Structure formats: structure tokens, C-alpha cells
Structure 1
């Protein structure tokens, strides 16, 4: 595979393949002088199967711990609101403060691993995660919940990175992409859906105690796995500089302000809260300053020039666009069914189908994924998304979770068809620059995907809110007593209420209220149908652009042999 490191170039010393605790500690305690650049790490040889399997199981545990931790927050916002005695709008801050360190802190892992070692950072981080998860069991007020969720996001930040490294490091180069990458992405992407499957059973009568205890147990198991299965050490050097803290502070403010804006913006509807626009503008300015600072540094936190190369910009735009498209699944169906009155326990089978379809997609990648097949995988994925979004756009007030099994399975399958090939392209480009770029790409990918998920959810919710208002206005205009259909509907409802509501005026008021509620639900379904159809159009546009790109490449390949310069070179 082009761009990957081959085992023949790797060191074969026994202590490098299976480092003892003393070896790791010696490397941790004896960094290189600050004046020397960090040594270029050589690729590690693959571990034998009997030693690689425990590392892959540890990756599974770490990915599930991180995915469920995030999914428990996003899936149970109403439950958190009821448990803490606040409104749903207020409880949305729990998701915002969790995602801010989750998106920003991984960027510092690039230099932290070089100077301190990722294992030491991971042990401290997961130990902190155990402590704050234990504290979450006892939180009783909203302020303490905010603090605990912020600490949980910070402690969970390295888990996704560790899951990737534990899955990829023990494998041979040809299996890193073919097996390790699809499995790692499957576990990380399925976490939020899996949380929606098991949350109703854990909540039971409405308490969140078992949700917190489950997260605590997974965190403790992850701590044990990281301690018992250390990653192989890399050469260390003092690379953290004072200016890193300024860049990281500005980056954290930029990411944090953007996340808060896109979480709270749809709830306050943007223009109703001027502080959202001010915060978003300040966040963009902070991120612009970070770019300027990093471009003028000899040893930046993020290699902006590499990320700004045409190939990486194209890959980043592709991943970000696809993350926006997938918001249809993470934000669309669950919220529509909640608006229609379905309980979370009635949607568990739907999300179980989504997890199963993701597994099938990962198996398809393991079986047939190759670098030359990436465009074909992406085209098939976009076609599946188009089909799923088109089916969803035909929803009505009678649509239930069981009517979306096929459409949501198509979208989940497409997600796993799209993401591993795209990640493979980026990882090959990273490894061609050197093994040290592997961690850089993984961390940047995790941060941008976390940020992209929040942005996609915010944009999707904003569009739905706007379209709901547009549909509700004409529906309410029709609900007049002089309208024959409305009058007939009111009379029919009053007849149904006659046995339970003896007062005629009260019956009429209740009947009109029920009709207004029905109109609001109808407007909600119509708004989500518009959002699903917009997803279909975006996927269709992306598929058309991809087809045109493939046709252009095909025509260029056909015409290339006829060029005189190419003939001379070939001779």
C-alpha cells in the first residue's frame, strides 16, 4: 500500500516490540534536550496475533466508553433536565460544556505525547474520568452538573485517540487500513446510537443513577486496560513552548464559542439572543489569530501548511460535508419522533437496526476496501443516502420508528461505506510524511468531526425550526370557526369529549386546543420532510460532482497517451 510503513524498515529489537515497564519509564524520565528536534520515530513491527487481540479488545473498550459517555449526554437531555429541576433549554448547556474540551483538548495531545508520552497522559486522564464519573452519581444541582460534564469531556478527550492507536498499532501495515480502521470507526461512530439502545433500560423509572454507574464501570475498566497494555514508547523531546498555551487558549475559545453558538442558537433562534452572534464572531476571530500564529512558528501545535494543502483541504471538505449529511440521522429521526410523542423506549429497535447496519458497512469495507476503490465506495454511499433521505421525506403524522428501519439502515450503512475509505486516504497521506503524522491526522480528524457534528446538528435544527414556522402559519390561518372543515373537526372532537367534559364551553376550548396541537405536529412533520429532502438534494449534488470528477479523470487518462511529452517520458 503506497505511503504506509513496511515492517522491513522497522526496528526488530525485542525490547521495542515488547517494552518493559522500566523501559517506558526510562524514556518518560529522560527526554531529549530542548534544543534538539524530536527524533523521527520509526514504525513499530506488528505484534503477534495472541498479543494483538488484547490491544484490539482494549480499543473496543475505549471506543465504547467514549461513545457511550457522549451518547448518554445527548440522548438523555430531557432526563437530565427533570433530574436537575431545570428546563430542557437550560440542560442543553450540559452538552455544550461536554463537547468543548472534547473538541479542543485533543489538539494538545500531539505535543503532550512527544514530551510526556501518551500513556502517562492517558492514565492521568482516565483516572480523572473515573473520579468525575463517580462524582456524577452524587450531583444534585445544575451548577455541579455543568462542572462534572466539563471535566468529563476533558477526561474523555484522549479516549478516541487511544482507541485508534490501540486498534492500529499492533497490526501489520496492510491490516491497519483494511481491518483496524473500519473497526475503530465502527466502534466510535456507533457509540451514540448504542447509547440510545441501552439508555431506556438503564433509566427505568426515570433515575439516572444506573446511567452514571455504567459510565463509571466502563471508565474503571478502561483505566485497567491502559495500565495493563501500555502502548509502545516513542522518542521524547521537550517540545511544549509558552506560545503553545496562547495558541491552545485561543483555539479552545474559538471551538468553545462555536459549539455554544450552534447548540444554543437553534434553541433561542439566533436573532432573539444577540450574544450568540457576538460570541460566534469572536470565536471566528480567535481561530483566525490561531492560524496566523501557527503559520509563523517553527514548531506549531498544528501543521497548518500540511492541512492547507490541496489534497488535505479536499479531504477535510469531503469529511465535513458528509458529517453535515449524517446529521439527518443523529438529529432528524430522534427529534421528530420525540415531537410526535414517542418515548425513547419505543425507538430502541430503530437504533439497534442502525448499529447493525453500521456493522454490515464495516464488514463490507474490511472485505473489499482498497485505495483504488475509494471513489466507487463514496458514490455508492451517496446513492444510499439519497435513497434513505428520499424515503424519510415521505413521512406523515402516522409514521412510526418501524417505518424508518429501511431508510435509516441505508444511511447508517452508507456512513460506514464512506468514512473508512476517506480516512484511509488521509492516513496514507499522513504516513507518507512520517509515522509521527499518524497521531496528528487522527487528532485533527477527531476534533474536526466533533466540531462538525455540533455544527451539523445546529444547522439541521435551525432549518427545521424555520420551516416549521413557515408551515404553521398557513395551517393556523385555516383554523377559523368560519371554515367548514375546521368547524366539522371541532364538532367531532366535542362529540368525543362529551362523556368526559360536561361543560360545552370547556369542550369547545379543549377541542380547539387539540386541533391546534395536531396542526403543530403536522407542521413539524412537514418541516422534517423538507430537511430530509434537502439532505437528498445535497447528497445528489455531491454524487453528481463526484461523477463529473470521475469522468474528467477518465477522459484525462484516455487522452494522456496521445500527448507527445508523455510518449517521450514513457520511452
Structure 2
């Protein structure tokens, strides 16, 4: 498999690129120092785009304060960055084929550098949203380049075994690294420090890409007019779904009319895209193949996994925010998660084979289920150190699950021919990038709903006639006596404190419910996988032996070694 045969989408989700023509130029042989340099560039570019993605989503309150807007308004910056990441990868493959890989790499990183420079001048919400949209567009090719730089110097037998897990771990670790480096930068120089670091990383990435060029296969005319029509419809649909699920839990689904309208328009755009593709002789996406039982099974599996992983992105960090844990106190937790993510990639190397995929998924689901169940015992006194083991297990399992699934789907698409590669992109795009947005939105929605339920129960228990409540008010009033002289004000302040504690307790109980739900879903998926493996083994035992097998075995036995 050549370097040009595999890529990765803008959200850090793996995407195979279209194969090169039948007679591509021979890949050059690399010495170990040069090969290590290419691998280093891959890791650097992957972390660069991940850090840029994480800077905004991690520091929404600080960004909102700097722009003079609310945190709800600042969340639109995340939407502006996400939409291009979801939409652009569908066309990046054909753009590379038509305009050349080397030019694509150099221009992509140069644009990213320019956008990083412009981001320093964003002074209000409108300009910041525009800059974030440009940032999402310019960051989209970087994960592709990270994947290509990883595969470029590796021998064929190591591209899947080593290159695939390692680069996917680097891309996943980027947003976590942003959480580790943000607190000291903000403490030292504020948001200007974040912008300066992003600009410096982009400049270094540009220099590395120019210094170590990729081998470019011959250009081919790949973009047809109807490809653009289909892409615009799919981009509109995915973009609308991203905006809906990101903002739905914030504005609330039934309270905001435009959420329903955007959702309906997104479904309509995707439906039109399907109609267009079904009537094309050379479609951008093979809808019939995507609807086959095998591909539907793969899609459901990947989507389920992405929904399960929302526990780590939308769960623990937000729960600690409710508990008053600051960003600098979360630094050790995310440092451990980065190590666990790379450990998962390294652990895959001896076992990264197509026949081992179900077993690897079995281990990953078990680790996720156990980790989520451990998290479900959180209390208002829980701190990051107490969740390091469970969260590290989930981070380890994420690489252990996704890389083999990517390999399995990629090999399946390649086996059917070049026309199925772009169709495979839609699977990973919709289940990883878009699935991550949907999973996060669904997770936050569930949390908000369960918090309201638990708060109602606590209110019923904390009545004015409750002896426990009377005792708590008296104790807190006595504790406030040195600060507040007036007895009525002390009592009112004690009631406010108890109400705040009840709200925090309701949120923690809601997160525990969500963790238990994730554990149950992982256990259900694990049981389904075991049954599926048993069915396959049972079917294989009843399948008649191939008549060619004995002859082949005889040849193997008599073949000289």
C-alpha cells in the first residue's frame, strides 16, 4: 500500500485516500534517520492541528471574557470550527489527486499559517467566528498530512501495524495536549500566549513540510461537476447536524424553533444528495454499497463506539468544572490520558492483524465498560486523581478499538476497488467526526435531563419541615456568625449555600447516571460481539472444506524452506 492510498479526515478521524494510478512511481527507500524525521514531522503536524482544535473548546470561558460575550455565544466558535472539519474531507481526496500531493501539502500548511496570524486580530465575536471557520478549513488538511508523513517512510508491512495506530494516537492526543499547556500560557500571557503558540507551531510545520517533501503520484483529473453538487449537499447536511447537536443542549431542543428548522433542512439536503448519487454512473459515494449489510454493521459499530467515547470528552471534564476544579488542576489527568493513548497504540503493534480485530474490540469494550462503571461512583468530593485509572483505561481502549476498525474497513474498501474508497470516507466521517458531535450533544442532553429529575427529588426531600434541613441551616448560620452579624441574613445565606450544594449534588448524580448508561451500552455491545464471534465460529464449523485446501497444504509441506 502506497502512501497516497491512505489519508485521514479533518477531525482526526481516519480516512483512506483514493489509490494512485496503476503504475505509480516507485517509493524511495529511506534510511532510518530520514524515516525517523518523517515520523517526527507526522507527530508534530498531528499535535499541531489537535492543539489548535483544543485551544478554543478548552478555554471557552476565557475566550468569552476576552471577546465580551457570554459562554453560550462563544460556543458558536466551536461550531464555526467544527463545520468545515466535517464537510471538507469529502473533497480533499480528489483535490489531492487532481492538483498533486506536494503542492497540496505546501499550500495547505501555508494557508494554516496565514489563518493563525489572522487569529491574533480577532477582537469581537463576529470576526472570531469568521477566523474559526477559516481555522477549521485550514486545519482540515493537516491531519491528512500527518497520516501521509507517517506512512511515507515505512515499509509496506509496517504501514498498518505501526503507522496507523501511532498517527491516530497523536491526532487524538492533540486536544488533550491543549488542556495541558493552556493553563500556564493563560496565567503568563493570557489568550495572546495561546495565539502565539499556535502561530509558532504553524510556522514550524510549514518549514518542516517544505524541508521534507512527500513523494507525489501523477496527477489525474478526478473532480466532476456533479461531485461539487453532491459535496455541497452533503456539506450542508453535515454542517447543519453539527450546529444542531452542538447548540441543542444549550438552547434546549423544544425551546428554540430554529433548531428544528436547521435539523429538517439538514435531513433534506442529505436526502437530495442520496437521490443525486443514486442516479449517477460514477457517483462520489456508492450509496448501494453503503446500504449493504456488512457496511451497515461496520457503520453501526463505529457510531456506537463514538457515542460511548463521548463519556471522556463530554463527561469527566465538565463534571469537574461543576465541582469547581480549575484547568490547572486537570493538567495531571490529561497528561496521564496522553500517555495512555500512546500506550494503546504501542500495545497494538504485535496484534495489528485483520484476524485479531474482534478480539481487540472485545478487550476495548471491556475496558471502556469497567472504566465507565468505576466513574459512576463519583461524589461531590471526587477529584481528578481518583479518576485517573478509569479515564486512562478509556483512553487506552479508544486507540485499541478505532485503529483496528479503521484497518478492517479500509481493507474491505480496497478489496472492492478504487471506486469504493470515497464511499468509505463517508462511513468514518459520519461515525467519527459527526458521531462525536452527536454523541457529545446527546450526552449533555441526558445530563441536563437527569439533573432536573434529581433536583426535583432533592427539593421534595429538603422541605422546611425536614429535621435534617433545619439542622443544616442552624449549623451553617452558626458558621457564618463571624462574617454576618444579622441573624436573618445569616439564615438566608445558609439557605443559599444549601441550595447550591443541592444543585451540585444533582449534577453529580446525573453524571453517575450517564456513566452507568455508558457502562451498560458497552456491556451490551460486548455481549453482542461475543454472540457474533460465536455465530461466525459456528458457521465456519459447518462450512464444507474447500477442495483446494488439501492440495495447498501439500504444496506448503513439500515446499523447500
Tell me the CA shift for residue 532 of structure 1. Answer: 0.3
CA distance in 1, matches of 2:472, 2:536: 61
The 1:446–1:284 alpha-carbon spacing in structure 2 relative to 1, beyond 3 Å, is closer
For the Cα contact (< 8 Å) 1:107–1:302, is it kept in 2?
A: no
Residue 406 of structure 2 is matched in structure 1 by: 423
Matched, 1:405 2:388: yes
CA distance in 1, matches of 2:351, 2:78: 37
Matched, 1:360 2:347: no
Residue 531 of structure 1 is matched in structure 2 by: 514
Matched, 1:209 2:192: yes
Comparing 49-58 and 109-118, the one that deviates more: 49-58
Identify which of 23, 44, 55 aligns with 1:61: 44
Q: What secondary structure, in the 3-state scheme, does the structure 2 residue paired with 1:270 have?
A: coil
CA distance in 2, matches of 1:397, 1:310: 46
Identify which of 166, 171, 180 aligns with 2:149: 166
Tell me the CA shift for residue 193 of structure 1. Answer: 1.2
CA distance in 1, matches of 2:546, 2:22: 39
For the Cα contact (< 8 Å) 1:114–1:236, is it kept in 2?
A: yes
The 5 A counterparts of 1:132-151 are 132-151=115-134
Residue 517 of structure 1 is matched in structure 2 by: 500
Tell me the CA shift for residue 107 of structure 1. Answer: 0.8
The 5 A counterparts of 1:304-315 are 304-315=287-298
CA distance in 2, matches of 1:332, 1:407: 12
Identify which of 22, 31, 40 aligns with 1:49: 31
Residue 197 of structure 1 is matched in structure 2 by: 180
For the Cα contact (< 8 Å) 1:186–1:416, is it kept in 2?
A: yes
Tell me the CA shift for residue 131 of structure 1. Answer: 1.4
For the Cα contact (< 8 Å) 2:307–2:435, is it kept in 1?
A: yes
Matched, 1:480 2:497: no
For the Cα contact (< 8 Å) 2:24–2:218, is it kept in 1?
A: no
The 1:428–1:127 alpha-carbon spacing in structure 2 relative to 1, beyond 3 Å, is same
The 5 A counterparts of 1:136-535 are 136-204=119-187, 207-434=190-417, 441=424, 445-446=428-429, 448-535=431-518
For the Cα contact (< 8 Å) 2:290–2:423, is it kept in 1?
A: no
Q: What secondary structure, in the 3-state scheme, does the structure 1 residue paired with 2:254 have?
A: helix
Tell me the CA shift for residue 381 of structure 1. Answer: 0.6
Q: What secondary structure, in the 3-state scheme, does the structure 1 residue paired with 2:465 have?
A: coil
Q: What secondary structure, in the 3-state scheme, does the structure 1 residue paired with 2:329 have?
A: helix
Residue 127 of structure 1 is matched in structure 2 by: 110
The 1:392–1:508 alpha-carbon spacing in structure 2 relative to 1, beyond 3 Å, is same
Tell me the CA shift for residue 5 of structure 1. Answer: 7.3
For the Cα contact (< 8 Å) 1:384–1:414, is it kept in 2?
A: yes
Residue 10 of structure 2 is matched in structure 1 by: none
CA distance in 2, matches of 1:444, 1:293: 18
TM-score, normalization: structure 1? 0.89
CA distance in 1, matches of 2:319, 2:26: 48
For the Cα contact (< 8 Å) 1:244–1:300, is it kept in 2?
A: yes
Comparing 239-248 and 472-481, the one that deviates more: 239-248
CA distance in 2, matches of 1:275, 1:228: 48
For the Cα contact (< 8 Å) 1:103–1:448, is it kept in 2?
A: no
CA distance in 2, matches of 1:427, 1:43: 22
Q: What secondary structure, in the 3-state scheme, does the structure 1 residue paired with 2:315 have?
A: helix
The 1:443–1:309 alpha-carbon spacing in structure 2 relative to 1, beyond 3 Å, is closer
The 1:232–1:285 alpha-carbon spacing in structure 2 relative to 1, beyond 3 Å, is same
The gaps in structure 1 that reach 5 residues or longer are: 11-36
Residue 110 of structure 1 is matched in structure 2 by: 93
Aligned length, in residue pairs: 535
Tell me the CA shift for residue 255 of structure 1. Answer: 1.1
For the Cα contact (< 8 Å) 2:307–2:439, is it kept in 1?
A: yes
The 1:160–1:302 alpha-carbon spacing in structure 2 relative to 1, beyond 3 Å, is farther
Q: CA RMSD in A?
A: 2.3
For the Cα contact (< 8 Å) 2:38–2:212, is it kept in 1?
A: yes
CA distance in 1, matches of 2:156, 2:549: 31
For the Cα contact (< 8 Å) 2:90–2:422, is it kept in 1?
A: no
CA distance in 2, matches of 1:333, 1:291: 38
Q: Give CA deviations for 1:332-366 in whole Å, capped at 9, x if unaligned.
A: 00000000111011111111111111121111101
Q: What secondary structure, in the 3-state scheme, does the structure 1 residue paired with 2:88 have?
A: helix
Tell me the CA shift for residue 109 of structure 1. Answer: 1.0
The 1:298–1:169 alpha-carbon spacing in structure 2 relative to 1, beyond 3 Å, is farther
CA distance in 1, matches of 2:241, 2:401: 26
For the Cα contact (< 8 Å) 2:314–2:440, is it kept in 1?
A: yes
CA distance in 2, matches of 1:107, 1:44: 27
Tell me the CA shift for residue 314 of structure 1. Answer: 2.3
For the Cα contact (< 8 Å) 2:165–2:348, is it kept in 1?
A: yes
The 1:371–1:38 alpha-carbon spacing in structure 2 relative to 1, beyond 3 Å, is closer
The 5 A counterparts of 1:16-31 are none
Q: Give CA deviations for 1:530-554 in whole Å, capped at 9, x if unaligned.
A: 0000000100010000000111112
Comparing 536-545 and 369-378, the one that deviates more: 369-378
